[in-house]
Chain A
Amino acid sequence: MSDKVIIAEKLTKRFGDFTAVDAISFEVNRGEIFGFLGANGAGKTTAMRMLSGLSMPTSGKATVAGFDVYRENEKIKRNIGYMSQKFSLYEDLTVRENIRFYAGIYGKSSSFIREKTGIVLKELHLSGEADKLVKSLPLGWKQKLAFSVAIFHEPRLVFLDEPTGGVDPVTRREFWNLIYEAAASGITVFVTTHYMDEAEYCNRVSIMVDGRIDALDTPGGLKKTFNAVSMDEVFLKLARKAVRTAD
Chain B
Amino acid sequence: MKQFLSFVKKEFHHIFRDIRTMFILLAMPVAQIIIFGFALTNEVKNSKIAIWDQSGDAATASLVSELEASRYFEVEQAIHSPGEIGASFKKGKVKLAVIFPPHFNEDLQHFNKAQVQLIADASDPNVANTLTNYASAIIMDYQNRITQNRKMPYTITTEMRMLYNPELKGAYNFVPGVMAMVLLLVCTMMTAITIVREKEMGTMEVMLVSPMKPFRIVLAKAVPYLLLSSVNIASILLLSKYVLDVPVNGSLLLLIGESFLFTLVSLSLGLLISSGAESQQTAMFISLVGMFLPTVMLSGFMFPVENMPLPLRTVSNIVPAKWYYIIVKSVMIKGTGLHTVWKETLVLSGMLVFFLGLAIRNFKIRLA
The interface of chain A, by Cβ under 8 A from chain B, is 52-56, 74, 77-78, 80, 82-93, 97, 100-107, 150, 159
Q: Are B209 and A52 in contact (CB under 8 A)?
A: yes
Asked if B253 is an interface residue, CB under 8 A from chain A, the answer is: no
Expressed in whole angstroms, the minimum distance between the Cβ of B221 and any Cβ of chain A is 12
Q: Does residue B206 face the partner (Cβ distance < 8 Å to A)? A: yes
Are B2 and A84 in contact, CB atoms less than 8 angstroms apart?
no
- CB B193 to nearest CB in A, in angstroms, measures 14
The answer to whether B203 and A88 touch across the interface, beta carbons within 8 angstroms, is yes
Out of B205, B212, B368, which one reaches A82, CB within 8 Å?
A: B205
Expressed in whole angstroms, the minimum distance between the Cβ of A78 and any Cβ of chain B is 5
Q: Interface-forming stretch among B13-21, B164-172, B302-310? A: B13-21
11 chain-A/chain-B pairs, Cβ below 8 angstroms: A85-B202, A88-B201, A88-B205, A88-B206, A90-B201, A93-B17, A101-B6, A104-B2, A104-B6, A105-B6, A105-B7
Instruction: Assess whether B22 is interfacial by the CB under 8 Å rule.
Output: no
* A55 touching B368 in the complex, CB below 8 Å, given contacts A78-B211, A92-B18, A107-B3: yes
Whether A105 contacts B205 by the Cβ 8 Å rule is no
Residues A86 and B210 in contact, CB atoms below 8 Å apart: no
Interface string of B1-29 (1 = CB under 8 A from A): 01101110110011001100000000000
Q: How many residue-residue contacts, CB under 8 A, span A and B?
A: 80
A106 to B209, CA, bound (A): 10
Are A54's CB and B367's CB within 8 A? yes
- Whether the Cβ atoms of B7 and A101 lie closer than 8 Å is yes
Which of B7, B10, B13, B18 is most buried by chain A, counting CB atoms within 10 A of its CB? B10
Q: In the bound complex, how far is the Cα of B19 from the Cα of A242, in angstroms?
A: 50
A107 touches B368 (CB 8 A): no
B170 to chain A, nearest CB (A): 40
CB B226 to nearest CB in A, in angstroms, measures 20
Q: Which residue on chain A has the smallest CB distance to residue B202?
A: A86
* Distance between B199 CB and nearest chain A CB, rounded to angstroms: 11
B207 contacts partner chain A, Cβ-Cβ < 8 Å? yes
